[in-house]
Amino acid sequence: MGKKVLVIGQGGREHALIWKLKQSPEIEKLYAAPGNPGIAALAECIDIKGEETDKLLKWAQENDIDLTVVGPETPLMAGIVDKFSAAGLKIFGPTAAAARLEGSKVFAKNLFKKYGIPTARFEEFDDHDAARAFAHDLLKEGGPLVIKVDGLAAGKGVVIASTQEEADQALASMMKDKSFGTAGDKIIIEEFLQGEEVSFFAISDGRDFVPLIAAQDHKQIYDGDQGPNTGGMGAYVNPPVFTRQLEQESIEKVIKPVIAAMEAEECPYKGVLYAGLMITAEGPKVLEFNARFGDPETQAVMPMIKGDLLPLLEAAVNGELKDHSAPLEPGNCVCVVLASRGYPGPYEKGQLIAGMDDLEEETIIFQAGTSLKDGRIYTDGGRVLAVVCRGADIGSARDKVYQEVRKISFEGMHYRTDIAGKALL
């Protein structure tokens, strides 16, 4: 009998995961909690949020779910994997203790230090005055420094400070005003690293792993990496800066030692390892780890995975990844995010989206912030949807995706016109 699989989450990343899992011959029925209108075309959507872990467990038990796949980080930190596992249910993702790799920068940075994993030099602080004095000393050495709150801060807990005023402002906001709540009880101050950023994805079963692919996100809202940070405005895979040699170096110096370190610390890491790397003149250095797939990278990554994703996820859960690999499609894949007017600030909602029926057959739309009313799709979030195209190389995938993007419109729609541009310089 076919399997029943539940995917937790509601964004473009989860739409991409479900699109890929839908192709698995082993799956009889797909569910999403809570899902979105795009996902609803492929899976049955259940009205339970990712944070409602007890409700999700009860539902999964009652519905004989064979595997649960967790998209976002919050349910992981809330211990959804611990809960499902304790109840004997299979679930793909790290335990709460292992998810600290993303959830606590102090935990992660100290792990890197203890196990010799390349990362920016840093100090941790829980005292405001000590942090301020250290920041001033470091700034005198020249160059900017980076201040990070320990806990989750929806991408807003990192400040790059070039002057004492900027550093003072950030430290006061984090440590005195508690702008990030308890996430800012501890902070990290680290050296600024120069280079290009790469997101490198692997799947781990706690001991063995399968490298998937690297991608490059585009975090700022405007072309040329200008303006405020967003959740990510587009991505493409196999960035040329990440050569075969750098990939091998990252596997040897980052991925392998982190998995071994987590095992040695008695919180073996199962799930997606998302290494946020800076490719510096001295080689790859870890900026951060995430305990989940990237968004929007996953929207460009899933179309590149050649085989069935399900056996890979199951093998990770069962500790059987040793003999697995993840063959990839040739060429490249580019994803462009269409956003609402105002994003990443307060944004408009409720605009009718036109043109989605006019796309080429092989073009993929992954919906993120949308709503369905009377059979029509409206905007309902900051990042509304992603347009995704494959091509023989980066250039052709990019040309194709922008041709398709221009067919779609909604009031206030904006997007970056330079996704993957760096790769073509």
Binding site for ligand AMP (CB under 6 A): 120, 146, 148, 158, 190, 192-193, 197, 276, 287-288
Minimum distance between the CB of residue 236 and ligand AMP, rounded to whole angstroms? 17
Phi, psi of 261, rounded to the nearest 5 degrees: -65, -45
- How far is it, in rounded angstroms, from Cα 107 to Cα 102? 9
3-class DSSP state for residue 376? strand
**Subset of 190-249 contacting ligand GLY (CB under 6 A):** 217, 232
Residue 297 interacts with which of ligand AMP, ligand GLY, none, CB < 5 to 8 Å by class = ligand GLY
Contact 279, 290 (CB under 8 A): no
> Whole-angstrom Cα distance, residue 243 to residue 266?
33
**Least distance CB 373 / ligand GLY (angstroms):** 29
Which of 241/372 has CB closer to ligand AMP?
Answer: 241
Residue 290 beta carbon to ligand GLY: minimum distance, rounded to whole angstroms = 5
In the β-sheet with 27-34, what is the strand arrangement from edge to edge? 44-45, 27-34, 3-9, 67-70, 91-92
Q: Residue 150 in contact with residue 187, Cβ under 8 Å? A: yes
Shortest distance in whole angstroms from residue 221 CB to ligand AMP: 14
Q: Among residues 73 and 205, whose Cβ is nearest to ligand GLY?
A: 73
Query: What whole-number distance in Å separates Cα of residue 50 and Cα of residue 35?
Result: 10
Looking at residue 143, its amino acid is G
Cβ proximity to ligand AMP, 276 vs 331, nearer residue: 276
* The one among 190, 205, 297, 404 contacting ligand GLY by CB under 6 A: 297
Q: How far is the CA of 89 from the CAs of 57, 86, 268, 283, in angstroms?
A: 9, 7, 18, 41
Q: 158 contacts which partner out of ligand AMP, ligand GLY, none, CB within 5 to 8 A by kind?
A: ligand AMP
Residue 73: which of ligand GLY, ligand AMP, none does it interact with, CB under 5 to 8 A by kind?
A: none
Between residues 229 and 403, which has the closer beta carbon with respect to ligand AMP? 229
Where helices occur in 78-127 by DSSP H, the ranges are 80-86, 100-103, 105-114
For residue 254, the minimal CB distance to ligand AMP (Å) is 14
Token readout for 346 is 């307060």
Give residues in contact with ligand GLY (CB under 6 A). 217, 232, 290, 294-295, 297
